[in-house]
Amino acid sequence: IINHLFTCPEYPPSSSNSQVKLPHFIAYALHQTKLHSSVTFAALIPLQQLKVCFPTAQGSSGHHLFVSAFMLASKVICDDTYSNKSWSIQSIIAQGMFQLQEINQI
């Protein structure tokens, strides 16, 4: 869905020092977090709304779009959720792709 809506590249930007394809990145994050499927579906809503508001929007990184939406949905839906540090490079969730400062900005 992310690739379809935003025509994102399959690989993250070279600055992330990772070569994990987007589908594998998403599957791994879903597996590691073990969050309810409602969080995953809730993450798709702001992405779809973003595309509705900005139809010509394209993404330079589907990985960033996914983490942003998934993290936000998790924090809204779950009572006890992961910290920003858990989503960052120090964690296995984001597979070493994001610095804590970047996650905080998201």
In this structure, are residues 1 and 44 in contact, taking their beta carbons and an 8 Å threshold?
yes
Residues 6+ apart with CB under 8 A from 59: 2, 6, 7, 8, 65
The CA distance from 87 to 37, in Å, is 18
Residue type, 75: K
Q: What is the pLDDT of residue 74?
A: 92
- What pLDDT shows up at residue 49? 92
Phi, psi of 95 (to 5 degrees): 55, 35
Amino acid at 67: V
pLDDT per residue of the chain (106 residues) written in tens, 0 to 9: 888 889 888 888 776 777 889 999 899 889 988 899 999 999 999 999 999 999 988 888 888 899 889 999 999 998 888 888 888 765 667 777 888 888 888 7
Instruction: At 77, list the tokens.
Output: 């839906």
Q: How far is CA 6 from CA 1, 40, 41, in A?
A: 8, 18, 17
Q: Is the pTM of this model over 0.85?
A: no
